[in-house]
Amino acid sequence: MGRSKNRKPRQPVRLTLDIESLDFEGSGIAHHEGKVFFVEGALTGERVVAEVTKDKVRYARATTLEVLKAASSRVEPRCPHYQACGGCSMQHMDIGVQVATKARALEDLLSRIGKTRPEVVLPPMYGPIWHYRHRARLSCRYVFKRNEMMVGFHEKHSSFVVPMDQCEILPKHVSDLISALKVLISGMNARDHIAQIELAVGHETTAMVLRHLEPLSDNDLQALRQFGNQHGIDWWLQPGGIDSIHRLQAEKPAPLYFLIPSFGIKMHFLPTDFTQVNHQINDSMVYRAVNLLDPQPQDRVLDLFCGLGNFSLPLATRCAKVKAFEGSDDLVQRAQDNARQNGLDGCTEFHVRNLFEVETPEWQSWGQFDKVLIDPPRDGAFAVCKAIAGAADDFKPGRIVYISCNPSTLARDVEVLCGQGGYLLKKAGVMNMFPHTGHVESIAVLERQTTTF
């Protein structure tokens, strides 16, 4: 038989390693006997004792067991569950180093994949670094052997649930409820069949969607009502697929919304709708994006992957017309409702369209737009960027602002716009939307070479 390319050590292998640098996800990089080691929990300049967790032919992965020589950028993790929990990966790292690591990742990918560099690197955008996460999915599992209900995130590199009592990135009032949630669910008849709780925190309302794999008894439903009334939780139930989600107490409507204070916008949403997890950074991000796009009163602006209208409505306060596209019928309906409730329905229009299949002829059929904002999911906007690059000059917007949650696909799409579409990458930078994680949120400004920035 051939040699395995993915060899797990039969017995734990521990090594003393000197960390030379960090990779883009915050793991330390070391070399030992001609092999590269990626060491979780280690920082540049440190000497650590690490245990190998995955051993391949050319590289290995390891986790830090002991720090023999600490870096000045090392800080004490605030969360007592940090070493086990997979919710965060950078709490041991100074926040400035976290953001610098993400900025370096963006610039490297733009250079290597995008084959260009921004003329101006935007200053990183900071916001709250604790209790910022207004959206989350908490797993639930009852462990018979320990007679314990666990509610929390998964362990690192595992499907097991961390036995959490608090969480430093969830809103404080939610963190304080974790122990009470465990008591609630452990007392339910359906405790063995509760899979997860999806959290959505609005400006005034906290919604929780309970995924249950068997019908709930009257006692269970009453327990949820009492808990909700006592702690201010708007319970929603999900007995099946996404279409089965419904509010437990439909007769007590609790509007779920967040604010974009910079523009005086109030955005209503449902607990399963996509919204940004960090409301304060979202407001700052929208403000920066609109200013970078710089819509003028006479401009026609296109907003792609518009969702609930997070960018569409603020843009509509500055320009003549915003035309927006989104793949979800439900989100488009709620975007229209939000436009109407904010008095912006007269200068906005929303359309359902699969933007992963757009080609140049259809792009041109939408009309001429002065500026475009693109805010795609992790897969990026490759088809849209190809369509723009192949369009006639009259149908190429003068300026594009691209919001990205995946710097790799951003870099790929920038290469299309610059390499084939005649655009220049004018500005780019990162936004610390997800502190203490390796997630990189970024923004880029592209402009046609024939115009002046």
375 is in an annotated binding site: yes
385 is in an annotated binding site: no
Q: CA-to-CA distance for 417 and 424, rounded, in angstroms? A: 8
Residue by residue, pLDDT tens for the chain (453 residues) are 444 455 555 678 999 999 999 988 889 999 999 999 999 999 999 999 999 999 998 999 999 999 999 999 999 999 999 999 999 999 999 999 999 999 999 999 999 999 999 999 999 999 999 999 999 999 999 988 888 899 999 998 888 999 999 999 999 999 999 999 999 999 999 999 999 999 999 999 999 999 999 999 999 999 999 999 999 999 999 999 999 999 999 888 889 999 999 999 999 999 999 999 999 999 999 999 999 999 999 999 999 999 999 999 999 999 999 999 999 999 999 999 999 999 999 999 999 999 999 999 999 999 999 999 999 999 999 999 999 999 999 999 999 999 999 999 999 999 999 999 999 999 999 999 999 999 999 999 999 986 544
Q: Which long-range contacts (CB under 8 A, 24 or more apart) does 117-123 make?
A: 117/425, 118/425, 118/426, 118/427, 118/428, 118/429, 118/444, 119/424, 119/425, 119/426, 119/427, 120/426, 120/427, 121/427, 121/428, 121/429, 122/288, 122/427, 122/428, 122/429, 122/443, 123/429
Per-residue pLDDT tens digits for 173-201: 999 999 999 999 999 999 999 999 999 99
CA 286 to chain centre: 15
CB-based contact 220:189 (threshold 8 Å): yes
Per-residue pLDDT tens digits for 333-354: 999 999 999 999 999 999 999 9
- Helices and strands counted in the chain (H then E): 10, 23
Classify domain 135-201+206-247 at the CATH class level.
mainly beta
What CATH architecture is 100-128+276-448?
Answer: 3-Layer(aba) Sandwich (3.40)
User: Which among 432, 284, 431, 311 is positioned nearest to 371, based on CA atoms?
Assistant: 311
Give the relative orientation of helices 407-419 and 95-112 as an angle to the nearest 10 degrees. 40
Q: CA-to-CA distance for 428 and 124, rounded, in angstroms? A: 10
DSSP structure string for 370-425: SEEEE---TT--HHHHHHHHHS-GGGS-SEEEEEES-HHHHHHHHHHHHHTT-EEE
167 is in an annotated binding site: yes
Q: CA-to-CA distance for 432 and 413, rounded, in angstroms? A: 22
CB-based contact 365:395 (threshold 8 Å): no
What does the buried/exposed string (b/e) look like for 69-83 if buried means 16 or more CB atoms within 10 Å of the residue's CB? eebebbeebebebbe
Q: Three-state DSSP class for 82?
A: coil
Strand 257-260 and strand 265-268: the pairing is antiparallel
Q: CA-to-CA distance for 61 and 56, rounded, in angstroms? A: 8
310 is in an annotated binding site: yes
Q: With the CA atoms of 68, 69, 72 and 78 taken in that order, what torsion angle do they form, in degrees rounded to the nearest 10?
A: 0
Compute the radius of gyration of the chain from its Cα atoms: 24
- 226 residue type, one letter: Q
Q: CA-to-CA distance for 249 and 264, rounded, in angstroms? A: 30
Active-site amino acid positions: 405
Q: Three-state DSSP class for 65?
A: strand
* Residue 253 vs residues 55, 219, 234, 257, 278: alpha-carbon distances, Å: 54, 22, 9, 13, 24
Parts of the chain belonging to CATH 2.40.50.1070 = 135-201+206-247
Q: CA-to-CA distance for 445 and 439, rounded, in angstroms? A: 20
Compute how many other C-beta atoms are within 10 angstroms of the C-beta atom of residue 196: 17
Element (H, E) at 314: helix 312-316
**φ/ψ bin of 261: left (φ > 0), alpha (ψ from -120 to 50), beta (otherwise):** alpha
Cut 0.85: pTM above it:
yes
Q: CA-to-CA distance for 126 and 39, rounded, in angstroms? A: 27
Parts of the chain belonging to CATH 3.40.50.150 = 100-128+276-448
Strand 233-238 and strand 206-212: the pairing is parallel
Residue count (the chain): 453
Classify domain 12-74 at the CATH class level.
mainly beta
